[in-house]
Amino acid sequence: MKCPYCGFDESKVIDSRPADEGKSIRRRRECLSCEKRFTTYETVESLPMVVVKKNGSRQSFDRRKVFNGMLRACEKRPVPVAELERIAEEIEQNLQNSLEREISTERIGEEVMERLKKVDEVAYVRFASVYRQFKDIGTFMEELNKLLEHQEE
């Protein structure tokens, strides 16, 4: 780390502690040349993700939209909000870890459905009915039958 006072390239860390509710680390440093002290902050670099929608348009990824979609599907269901927040965070982290900068809405929807199926099957069917845009009762019944087959296994 370059000293802001003299420009020397080396310094030693005197103190480190979490900052910004654990999202960064605050470090007190001392320049090895001029011996002046300064503070630096270390944070995780998160690259912006772009969501490619079905119509080809693009917009920034927003975890709140994932959360709100699940919240609507879980309305009047015994699913804790904290669980939905954890799932939304998990999905975002999973997408960030993929290192892909452009993610399709299909991939996001599949990830949401995969997790909702484990948490609440009714919420899963609700989400799937909107996400997959069931055309009629037949396609709805196909999805229910798949769910029942999976349950029997």
Q: Is 20 or 118 the better-scoring residue by pLDDT?
A: 118
Of the pLDDT bands very low, low, confident and very high (cuts 50, 70, 90), residue 135 is low
Residue 100 pLDDT: 86
Of the pLDDT bands very low, low, confident and very high (cuts 50, 70, 90), residue 23 is confident
Q: Please write the tens of the pLDDT for every residue from 37-87.
A: 999 999 877 678 999 998 999 999 999 999 999 999 999 999 999 999 999
Q: Among candidates 41, 28, 42, 36, which has minimal Cα distance to 3?
A: 36
Q: How remote is the C-alpha of 50 from its chain's centroid?
A: 13
Residue 54 pLDDT: 87
Rounded Cα distance, 85 and 98, in Å: 20
Rounded Cα distance, 92 and 75, in Å: 22
Residue range 123-152: mean pLDDT, rounded: 76
Residue 153 pLDDT: 65
* The model's pTM: 0.62
